[in-house]
Amino acid sequence: MIGRLNHVAIAVRDLETSAALYRDTLGARVSAPQALPAHGVTVVFIELDNTKIELLAPLGDNSPIAKFLEKNPDGGMHHLCYEVEDILAARDRLKAAGARVLGDGEPRIGAHGKPVLFLHPKDLSGTLVELEQV
């Protein structure tokens, strides 16, 4: 059911510093920052040949990554994003298997303009998983 690894997301405190690390020290292609108020984050994408790295920094007062950064002040791996062809079919299959979908369970539009869902880490080997319909 799951397809390619679309991206690995890393939560960071300072987007500029982390983007510069990837661009200047690691020599990667780095996108311009993109504010996603509906998700409470600003994102930068690092384009690798086989996948992407998503740097996430908090945006606004109720950012969903604020608590994560309290626990992980140096930043850290936040989620994995797998591609699926049919996000509603994937959601229903996972729910039937007992996985919990975060939020109201309905897909929202993510950073690539495509529908995304998040699944509870407790149901997925301790890893927050994002599904993106491609």
Binding site residues, Co ion, CB under 5 A: 9, 54, 81, 130
- In SS3 terms, 55-98 reads as EEEECCCCCCCHHHHHHCCCCEEEEEEEEECCHHHHHHHHHHCC
Name which of 9 and 57 has its Cβ closer to Co ion. Answer: 9
Smallest distance, Å, CB 111 to Co ion?
6
Smallest distance, Å, CB 81 to Co ion?
4
* 18 sits in which H/E element: helix 15-20
For 102, phi then psi, to 5°, come to -75, 160
Q: Has 85 been annotated as catalytic?
A: no
Name which of 24 and 29 has its Cβ closer to Co ion. Answer: 29
DSSP class of residue 121 equals: G
Smallest distance, Å, CB 12 to Co ion?
13
Name which of 7 and 97 has its Cβ closer to Co ion. Answer: 7
- Hunting for tokens 């319909």 — which residue is that? 133
Which is catalytic among the residues 47, 70, 83, 130? 130
Q: What residues act catalytically? A: 130
